[in-house]
Amino acid sequence: MAVDEKLKIELGKQGILVTTLQELYNWGRRNSVWPMQFGLACCAIEMIATTMARYDMARFGAEVFRPSPRQADLMIISGTVTKKMAPQVVRLYNQMAEPKYVIAMGACAISGGPFKQGYNVLKGIDRYIPVDVHIPGCPPRPEALLQAFITLQKKIDDQRLTGEQRPPHLDEKAQGEFPVPKYGEHDLEPSSNPGVWPVPITIR
Amino acid sequence: MTLSPYVSLTVLFVAALAFGLTPLGLAWLWGRVFSPAKPNATKNAIYECGLESKGDAWVQFRPAYYLYAIIFLIFDVEAVFLLPFAVAFTGLGYAACLSMLIFVLLLVEGLAWAWAKGVLTWE
């Protein structure tokens, strides 16, 4: 049951807190997102800076970088995903417990960036795993990562626990395993996961 | 009727236990009721920094390592005892020197035993 926003604010002024289970649950979730501790390239330096005193990601409850995917909620793809590294990234994503979120940080992670034409760089991690927030930039400044994190918090806040739009971790039928690509002769096999990333049709 | 002085302690103990266990229980219940488990082979695999684990984790080490380590440790600790002895040497009496000598000789005997056993020869 949704409470009327205006009524809620009015009641709040009178000192009465009105909430729903969903709001409480999402409030707890969004304020204790634990990112996974791994950096791929130069964006990781900005990610480290974001956690340090000057930018202080701890203000948003995300300072606990976990060294194991079992304890992490958030994967920050910070940097270039080479084709050699892609299977490991996808495997780590698979090993994270639900609910899990992904921030693709920087031009390389979202599209391959300056290395897009290269033979050994993945043209965006969203080919294999669902990405929640993309941050452009090369590298994005720590403020940009904070902005992405706040965007993710808003996204978590808006998630409904029931109904068709419920998040994958509450949906029995949602995809649970994301196939880990293998090293092929020329490229990773498969070269993308059609379940997350429909191959765009090139019109010539 | 007077209450036993331990009653309040027991109450506090139960409260402390409940304080810790209730959130855990609620979280477990929440997971049971709302969140469907989605296990799969990749998720349940052994975590090895994203790589597939190879071989067995039960690697055998030669016992020679162990013997080396323990002999090193003994003489390391001996050095710790010898240092204050050496610092206070001029002010010490006959009995202190004798007991230190016995201590050192005991360890030397151990070293001689290890030497005779061939522990110090690395193959």
Residues A13 and A71 in one domain: no
Looking at the DSSP assignment, which residues form a beta bridge with residue A189?
A: A182
A183 touches chain B (CB under 8 A): no
Q: What is the pLDDT of residue A1?
A: 52
Give the number of other CB atoms < 10 A from CB of residue A182.
9
Give the number of other CB atoms < 10 A from CB of residue B74.
13
The residue type of A120 is N
Q: Is A159 contained in some domain?
A: no
Reported as a single tens digit per residue, the pLDDT across A97-110 is 888 999 999 999 99
DSSP one-letter code for A123 = S
Domain containing A38: what range?
Answer: 34-154
Q: How far apart are the C-alpha atoms of A143 and B103, rounded to whole Å?
A: 64
Q: What is the pLDDT of residue B45?
A: 86
Q: Is B104 contained in some domain?
A: yes
Mean pLDDT of A63-83: 91
At residue A80, does pLDDT exceed 90?
Answer: yes
Give the number of other CB atoms < 10 A from CB of residue B118.
8
Residues A79 and A138 in one domain: yes
Q: Is A39 contained in some domain?
A: yes
Q: Which of residues 19-38 of B touch A (CB under 8 A)?
A: 34-36, 38
Domain containing B105: what range?
Answer: 63-117
Give the distance from residue A179's alpha carbon to the nearest chain B alpha carbon, in angstroms: 9
Which residues of chain A have a CB within 8 Å of the CB of B34?
161, 170
Give the distance from residue B34's alpha carbon to the nearest chain A alpha carbon, in angstroms: 6
Q: Is A191 contained in some domain?
A: no
Q: Is A50 contained in some domain?
A: yes
**Total domain count for chain B?**
1
Residues A58 and A20 in one domain: no
Residue finishing a domain among A154, A178, A193: A154
**Total domain count for chain A?**
2
Asked whether this complex has an ipTM greater than 0.90, the answer is no
Q: What is the pLDDT of residue A132?
A: 93
Reported as a single tens digit per residue, the pLDDT across A95-151 is 998 889 999 999 999 998 899 888 999 998 989 999 999 999 999 999 999 999 999
Reported as a single tens digit per residue, the pLDDT across B29-48 is 887 887 778 888 888 888 88
The pLDDT confidence band at residue A2, using thresholds 50, 70 and 90, is low
Q: How far apart are the C-alpha atoms of A193 and A199, rounded to whole Å?
A: 9
CA A105 to chain centre: 9
The pLDDT confidence band at residue B91, using thresholds 50, 70 and 90, is confident
Q: How far apart are the C-alpha atoms of B72 and B78, rounded to whole Å?
A: 10
